[in-house]
Amino acid sequence: MRGAHSGSFLLAIAASATVLVATVLFPGCRSSEERVVVIYTALDRAFSEPILNGFQKQTGIRVLAKYDTEATKTVGLVSAIRAEKDRPRCDVFWNNEIVNTVRLQKEGLLEPYQAIAAKAIPPEFRDPEGYWCGFAARGRVLIVNTNLVAPAQMPDSIYSLADATWKGKTGIAKPLFGTTATHAACLFAGLGREKAEALLESFKKNDVKIQSGNKTVALNVSAGVLAFGLTDTDDAIGEVEAGKPVVIVYPDSRPDQMGMLFIPNTLALIRNAPHGDAGRQLIEYLLSPDVEGALARAESSQIPLNPEVKVKARVKTPSEVKPMTVDFLWAAEQFDEAAAYVEKSFLK
């Protein structure tokens, strides 16, 4: 009798387990008729999701998106793409900067695609072989607290972060991750190793406050904790439009200065992508003037690179501010060296 009860008990457990496991596995099985495209996107979900929903609505292709989080840093999408290289799951990588995209290119993880819509993008923001294409850029700017910095003292260069007048009162994000890491790599590529290290060393000597992210820099400047700091245009414009006592300074834009760095979002097709055709269609859509216009109108105020975009950006564009001349391929080569220096010498 006890055996009968035990058998029934076990059968009940086994049946429950089968149902539960099936409900977990079932969503992984899709109809072969359904068209899907998988995109890994580093741009904030709040800005990228409406764009992707628009593509889905327009084409009927279901978009399966994986979004990044600041908390996981780069150990998110880029690491996932690397780990999945033998059987890619992602079709399109939408990065919110460029250096890691170029690094994936160098590792042979991208597939070239000469998008029709890419032809309008200036050549300095796209790969000549079509492995990636830039769009919707952000600028690396100084956000300055007008209550703490008089007009006559306004900084005009990233070198101002090393000005002894502001010792301990300036800030940058940790230059190991995100656009600040990209900026460090571009400085190593543009200035050369010695000058770039000297610049970072001068920041360290001037007790530049390292913050956890660009948004933190912007928030602390607007709160008056810092006098000014280096951040991205989307983080700075948020504080300006919130009515905080801050202004945006576009650094190094005089003819005798090195120019301001603009970092584009980048799109790339993954090698051996499972839904390559849909991925190409998505890339064409994302590079369209309408999408860049939408991103420019959004809260993040991304800077359109396509001259056909009619929407006026709320921040200055490369046609209004002297842009820094950057070989992004070379910057990607310098990334490891820059990161190693930052880690060993700058962040002690």
Instruction: Tell me if 277 contacts another protein by CB under 8 A.
Output: no
Q: Among 40-48, 198-206, 262-270, 279-287, which window interacts with another protein (CB under 8 A)?
A: 40-48
Instruction: Tell me if 348 contacts another protein by CB under 8 A.
Output: yes
* Residue number, 80 or 199, with CB nearest to another protein: 80
Cβ burial of 205 (10 Å; 0-12, 13-18, 19+) is: exposed
Instruction: State both tokens at 109.
Output: 């993880």
Is-contact 176 342, C-beta < 8 A?
yes
Counted residue by residue, the chain has a size of 348
* Residue number, 72 or 325, with CB nearest to another protein: 72
Helix (H, G, I), strand (E, B) or coil at 178: helix
Give which of 39, 54, 36 is closest to 293, Cα–Cα: 54
Binder of another protein out of 129, 207, 320, 336 (CB under 8 A) = 336
- Least separation in angstroms between residue 9's CB and another protein is 6
Binder of another protein out of 252, 259, 339, 346 (CB under 8 A) = 339
Interactions with another protein, residue window 53-72 (CB under 8 A): 63-72
- Least separation in angstroms between residue 115's CB and another protein is 22
- Least separation in angstroms between residue 198's CB and another protein is 21
Instruction: State both tokens at 1.
Output: 């009798």
Angle of helix 99-106 relative to helix 178-191, nearest 10 degrees, comes to 70
* Residue number, 209 or 322, with CB nearest to another protein: 209
Helix (H, G, I), strand (E, B) or coil at 68: coil
Instruction: Tell me if 27 contacts another protein by CB under 8 A.
Output: yes
The residue assigned the tokens 């596995």 is 25
Interactions with another protein, residue window 113-132 (CB under 8 A): none
* Residue number, 24 or 152, with CB nearest to another protein: 24
- Least separation in angstroms between residue 135's CB and another protein is 21
Binder of another protein out of 139, 213, 229, 318 (CB under 8 A) = 213
What amino acid is encoded at 144 in this protein?
V
Total interface residues for another protein by CB under 8 A: 72
Close Cβ partners of 157 (under 8 Å, ≥ 6 residues apart): 251, 252, 257
- Least separation in angstroms between residue 308's CB and another protein is 30
Instruction: Tell me if 15 contacts another protein by CB under 8 A.
Output: no
- Least separation in angstroms between residue 252's CB and another protein is 26
Instruction: Tell me if 242 contacts another protein by CB under 8 A.
Output: no
* Residue number, 103 or 193, with CB nearest to another protein: 103
In this structure, the strands spanning 170-173 and 209-211 are: parallel
Is-contact 282 100, C-beta < 8 A?
no
Binder of another protein out of 35, 46, 241, 272 (CB under 8 A) = 46
Q: In the chain, where do the E strands start and end?
A: 36-41, 62-67, 92-95, 110-111, 133-145, 170-173, 209-211, 228-232, 246-249, 262-270
